[in-house]
Amino acid sequence: MKGNLVKGFLAINLMFGISVGVVAGKNTRISIGAIRPASGLVKSIGVGGIFLNRKKTKTTAPALAKPIALSASPAFGLGEIYVYPNPAKSGAVPTFHIESGVADSVRIVIYSVSGRQVHEYTITDQPQTMTTNSKTVEAYKYAWSGHIASGVYYYVIEAKKSGQKLKKSGKFAVIR
């Protein structure tokens, strides 16, 4: 390996969802790429290689160029979280929209402005798959029904999966 110069780069094209990385040595070039569909997760990646011998003729490695299938399970991470309508007027039910991927549980705790806990609910069902603006997401929905007094409320969302915890807080209003 003495005298080998290794160069590398990574190019990411977010518009088309194509990622390419190349590492090149004196006699070797290895390319790695993934193509992400217009919506959804990366389905496969490919690895290819070009090897240059001393005569500078190219030899490819087709065995490396086979795509590798990836898991299609949604990633666990917080996306958009909001309450609608906000403010909830004239008897409208405040509904929580929580994007977290698939979680073991999602806990919603609602507090009054004074800091007193007024409601708590834990979601253990699977999220709904929704398509909005050409984007597919896994989201939980929860409608807080019953008699809700007028006022400003604060919420804390805690999603759990395999020992990981994600938290997000916010506020919303109710006008009766």
Lowest average pLDDT, out of 67-81, 96-110, 114-128, goes to: 67-81
Give the E-state strand segments of the chain in sequence order: 7-13, 18-24, 28-35, 44-52, 58-60, 68-69, 81-84, 88-89, 95-99, 105-112, 117-123, 128-132, 135-143, 151-161, 164-175
Nearest to 155 by CA among 104, 76, 100, 97: 97
Q: Is the pLDDT of residue 66 over 50?
A: no
Tell me if 100 sits within 8 A of 79, measured CB to CB: yes
Tokens of 7: 């160069």
> Do residues 176 and 94 make contact, with C-beta atoms less than 8 angstroms apart?
no
E-state strands within 36-94:
44-52, 58-60, 68-69, 81-84, 88-89
* This model's pTM is above 0.75: no
Residue 54: pLDDT band with limits 50, 70, 90: low
Mean of the per-residue pLDDT values for the chain? 74
| 2-16, 91-105, 122-136, 150-164: segment of lowest average pLDDT | 2-16
